[in-house]
A and B are shown apart, each in its own frame.
Chain A
Amino acid sequence: MANGWLTDTLILLPLGGAIFIALAPLSRLAAGLLALAVSLVEIAFWGGALTSYRFDQNIPFVQLEDRTTWFGELGISYHVGFTGPALWLTGMAAVTMTAAIAYAVWVRREHARAYFASMLLLTTAVVGVFVAQDYLLFYVFWEAMLIPLYVLVGVWGGPGRLRATLMFFIYTMAGSLLMLTSIIVLGISRGTFDIVEGGVSNSDWIFLGFVAAFVVKAPIFPFHAWLPVAYREAPAEVAGVLSGVVSKAAAYGFLYIAILHFPHPTHDFRTPILVLAAIGLIYGSVLAFRAPDLRGVVAYSSLAQLGLITFGLFATNLAGFNGAVLQMVNHGLISVGLFMLVGLVELRTGTGKLDRLGGMARGRPALATVLMTLGIIALAVPGSSAFAGEFMILTGVFTSGWGWSVVGAIAIVLAAMYMLRLISAVLHRSKGSAVDDDARDLRLPELAFILPLVACLIVLSAWPAAVTDHNLDVVNAFPALERFVP
């Protein structure tokens, strides 16, 4: 259990920060800067975790473990530790949450202490979901994500925020409760709630309970009704976190819990899930192509991307898994970056309607360059890390049937169509009615929180194998999967 303290620190540090910020009488700026400092330290600790993690397939697949009995008689314990994919996703979450917090400091969110405490709480919850090795602990963190999100959308959101939060809450609660049922049945019948000790299960119903929670949170078509409303009403950076980070908790749940711990049900249900993912992929892309506003485009593209990631996961082979994990990291960075850019454009023009924007490239080189770079990586131009992820996903799913890859290829073309439409609508043609001449270019502090995301993506583009080479350990620990891993 060497270095388990690192994992504990990653969970507890933002929690401590959140409690301190909530209680201490800080000014708005102090609260924001403290939150920012805490999340930067979080990144540093993640770096420590990355360096002490050994990507070796011959050692236990959960590393940096810590374990303390919680309810001994029920077999519930505080058991945390990293798997390879969780490590990358935690890093992605730490980086994007930091950027989102910096954005919030910059735009001066009202009620700063409550806001930043919520953001840090969300960080704790997300990291907790990635590192939990006990089903009940997983559930606790899973639900803990909901509370700050509910507050963040409900208090700082747009005019329709109450409806948005209500929908988001009802949908995800419905899914979560089914998962809770599954967890209780599984834990009681096993005598332990430990994910690692529990081993694999063959129960279809328990599997479906988990899947219910994940398909809603991800979301997968047709469980996405909350998505357009929530993404439109949430504050820009929270929408980014929702689509970039929180959805990855669901995707990781698919991988680590649903697929690896339920191999037979996965095998039985993968075709219907792939069908839903395929529909979501095309459907999201088509709607993104016609969406009338910036957030609509990014929101529906997010639906499409989650469909693609699900493709990779339910390809149930190494290429698919690796591609999906890479794409999860990519999409997290892209989505948070895009939503922050959307927010900055909205701040300058007061609208997100595509027909009122345009011509912003002239005289605003930084905005044009950043939006163009993020946009073309988002549409997975060959050579980018998003391309690497999609290529691996579609390679993986090809072995399940060529038809899935054809659907993916169609989606690549559609992605080019909707992303170019978004870029052009903001940057090109003559000036839109909402664009004033004094709408400024991106300023230095704004670049300071967007450029790191772009830089991460460019580094990943040069070396996507950094992720794909280094997350196999968890899959290899499940020999039961071998019968459908080529």
Chain B
Amino acid sequence: MTEITTSWICLFSPLVAVIVIALGGNRFSRRAAGVIATGSVALSFAAAVVAFATMLTRAPGNRSHLSTAWTWLSAGNLHFGLSVLVDPLSVFMMLVVSGVGGLIVLYSIGYMHGDDEERRYFAYMAMFVFSMLLLVQGGNLILLLSGWGLVGLSSYLLIGFWHERPAAIAAAKKAFVMNAIGDATFALALFLLIAKTGTLDYGLAFSKAHGLSQTVLILIALGLLGGAVAKSAQLPLHTWLPDAMEGPTPVSALIHAATMVTAGVYLIARTAPIFQLASVVQDTAAALGAVTLVMAGLIALVQTDIKRVIAYSTMSQIGYMFLGVGLGAYASGMFHLLTHAFFKALLFLAAGVVIHALAGEQDIRKMGGLRGLMPKTYAVFLVGALSLAGIPPFSGFFSKDPIIAATLERGGAFGYVMFVLAIGGTFLTGLYTFRLVFRVFHGDRDRFVDETFDTHHGEGPLVMLLPVGVLAIGATLAGWLQVPGGWHGVSSWLQPVAAPILETTNTQEAIASIVSVVLGLAGAGIAWWIYIARRRPAPAAVPAFERKFWFDELYDALFHRPAVTTAKVLYALVEGPLVGGSMAGIAEAVRGLGTGTGRLQTGLVRTYALALAASLAVLAVVFLAVR
């Protein structure tokens, strides 16, 4: 089979699962729904592997193919096909999405066991995987946008999965609306692109983009960046991600850590030619990433919900990826995306095991000393934490450092500011990561743990531990795909699609590695000093961090309340009078007209006769005059 056939199989396999589960309804057992969903994603993964293997046999220049099934939408000269693009970048993403996705769906079978709406859950999960695959495989920008919107929809459905919790529903709506803002700017960029180039096919649009004016390019890139920022929870559209933790934990792992939130990075890499032509916007992306990574790291320091800490850490890590692709080190950004998918999914799933064992409790102040009770979970969590903190030889070390090195290569005031922010981030990462490790697994066991921990249940069934184990292996080994000064597996694979615009030297790599490892260890050390040596029970309260820099309050005052007020004012001043008033107005007008004309009716025959005669005279005069 060619890579094109397998790509189509990869794309539609989860969609078939959605349809089967939706139509089957109660005819399937709950477990069967989980198996169908997992099987379909596993099939996708297998197809992606076959596609990858087939492409390996081809020359690097001959690895990009576009296959169109039918014209999806058209008007006049505009034609948008339903097509898949099979090239190194999309296959890379297909592998990540279906691979990590398959593991997480498998884990869900154990995690969601006993929920009375499991079938709905698995239908949504398969729907998400389909949407994400459409996003990365779509052969033109309108399909990318379609996948973009559908992953937002799946995310909405899954965040609000427990729909009787008001907080979950509010979080789901917030996520959807913030993403809709990104969708809107994305769409505006596409309108501009269509108006100027008349196409949304990647190749054609990029080649025509060279002839566009700088203003147009900047506007297009800004629109795309708006979409990327909203989807990837970067400043200033980031407030939805922490709230999204209301969803089931596997959802957080799949959507809000491994795949969907990294779509912004994919978008920037995919539309790299446009961003390169609008370098101001590309720098903006890098700067937003750098600021986000520090800010999210600071907020993560004071969060008390285990999932929210990891969520802020996700924002921070995506900040690194934005920094990477913003600087033009596309392969580094994508490489960090890959390793992050492993170690962050691992952290979430391990956290899920903890939450599962503690009857749904997520507050780390009620945890502590779990190391003894859950040794396997502790081990894999530690692997994830070391990887996140960038400690060699775990994968985060290999993927984060090239990004930091790229800031040095960029140089100049901009580059060095980015460098400082990035290494500041590594320090914060070490600090909040190990704060979490020490609070949850070390120290004294909280009384709450003794009361709720279900010793019979233990660390969960095999279907939960197996994916966690595989992810732990991935988090440990994935870094070796690319070793500075050694080999460049990811870079050379992605070279044909997204050639980097800067090359780092070995010296820069070395400096970046040493500085970041030292700072990461320093952060971990300080965490040890605070939480183990001094046994501080809770983090110090810093209002700015606890209030998350007041973004929620700001948006509430800036958008939500004005919208509500506008609606009320419009209703009172326009709609009420228009609807209620027009009826009364019409009645009044008709009555007035009647009274007015009634007065003409004097009842005096001679008045009528006079009027007749006078009108006749006037008419006669008019006719004579006109002639």
Contact = CB atoms under 8 A, between A and B. Distances in A.
Interface string A361-389: 11001000100100010000111000110
A398 B191 contact: yes
A358 to B, nearest CB: 9
A312 to B, nearest CB: 10
B50 interface: no
Nearest to A392: B75
B566 interface: yes
Interface stretch (A95-103, A341-349, A416-424): A416-424
Interface stretch (A199-207, A221-229, A327-335): A221-229
Interface residues of B, number: 61
B92 interface: no
Interface stretch (B96-104, B178-186, B536-544, B614-622): B178-186
Interface string A447-486: 0000000000000001111001100100000000000011
Interface stretch (B342-350, B435-443, B573-581): B573-581
A423 to B, nearest CB: 9
A376 B157 CA distance: 11
Interface in B575-604: 575, 578-579, 582-583, 586
Contact of A420 (B149, B176, B183, B184): B176
A381 B153 contact: yes
A196 interface: no
Contact of A409 (B131, B153, B187): B187
B184 A396 contact: no
A287 B183 contact: no
Interface string B560-573: 00011011101100
Interface in B177-212: 177, 180-181, 183-185, 187-188, 190-192, 194-195
Interface string B68-108: 00111111111000100000000000000000000000000
Contact of B149 (A317, A361, A365, A383): A383
Contacts of B563: 286, 289, 417
A289 B559 CA distance: 13
B120 interface: yes
Nearest to B148: A382
Interface stretch (A11-19, A127-135, A142-150, A427-435): A427-435
B535 interface: no
B134 interface: yes
Interface residues of A, number: 64
A362 B22 CA distance: 16
A253 interface: no
Residues of B contacting A: mostly = helix
Nearest to B143: A383
B164 A428 contact: yes
A301 interface: no
Contacts of B187: 391, 394, 409, 412
B185 A409 contact: yes
Contacts of B25: 365
Contacts of B172: 420
Nearest to B119: A365
Contacts of A108: none
A362 B579 contact: no
A429 B164 contact: yes
Given A222-B578, A287-B567, A413 B73 contact: no
A125 B583 CA distance: 27
A306 interface: no
B583 A290 contact: no
Contacts of A417: 173, 177, 563
A123 interface: no
Contact of A468 (B74, B120, B145, B169): B74
Contacts of B82: 462
Interface stretch (A74-82, A254-262, A267-275, A318-326): A318-326
Contacts of A398: 191-192, 194-195
Nearest to A318: B76
A283 B570 contact: yes
A290 B570 CA distance: 10
Interface string A209-232: 000000000000010110011000
A170 B183 contact: no
Interface in A430-450: 430
Interface string A108-129: 0000000000000000000000
Nearest to A286: B567
Contact of B78 (A224, A362, A395, A485): A395
B142 interface: yes
Interface in B301-347: none
Interface string B118-148: 0010000000000100100000001001111
A185 interface: no
B166 interface: yes
Contacts of B290: none
A225 B177 contact: no
Nearest to B123: A369
B411 to A, nearest CB: 37
Contacts of A265: none
Interface stretch (A32-40, A186-194, A239-247, A399-407): A399-407
Contacts of B169: 424, 428-429
Contact of A413 (B71, B152, B180, B194): B180
Contacts, number: 158
A4 interface: no
A468 B147 contact: no
B72 A429 contact: no
B163 A429 contact: yes
Most interface-central of B163, B166, B564 (chain A CB within 10 A): B163
A410 interface: yes
Given A225-B578, A283-B570, A318-B76, A387 B160 contact: no
A372 B564 CA distance: 24
A167 interface: yes
Nearest to A421: B173
Nearest to A417: B177
A158 interface: no
Contacts of B150: 381-383
Contacts of A416: 176-177, 180
A402 B192 contact: yes
B75 A319 contact: yes
B164 A409 contact: no
A359 interface: yes
A359 B164 contact: yes
A67 interface: no
A405 B184 CA distance: 10
Given A318-B75, A362-B164, A398-B195, A283 B574 contact: yes
Contacts of A321: 75
A392 B74 CA distance: 8
A167 B153 contact: no
Nearest to A170: B586
Contacts of B120: 365
Contacts of B74: 322, 465, 468-469
Contacts of B190: 391, 395
B140 to A, nearest CB: 12
Most interface-central of A289, A361, A416 (chain B CB within 10 A): A416
B583 A167 contact: yes
Given A229-B579, A405-B191, 13 more contacts: A290-B567, A319-B78, A322-B74, A382-B149, A387-B149, A394-B191, A395-B78, A395-B195, A398-B195, A405-B188, A409-B185, A413-B180, A428-B164
10 contacts: A287-B575, A322-B74, A381-B149, A383-B147, A383-B150, A394-B187, A394-B191, A398-B192, A421-B173, A468-B73
Interface of A: 163, 166-167, 170, 222, 224-225, 228-229, 283, 286-287, 289-290, 317-319, 321-323, 359, 361-362, 365, 369, 372, 376, 381-383, 387-388, 391-392, 394-396, 398-399, 402, 405-406, 409-410, 412-413, 416-417, 420-421, 424, 427-430, 462-465, 468-469, 472, 485-486
Which 7 pairs of residues, A with B, have the shortest CB-CB distance? A382-B149, A318-B76, A383-B146, A290-B567, A409-B184, A322-B75, A416-B180
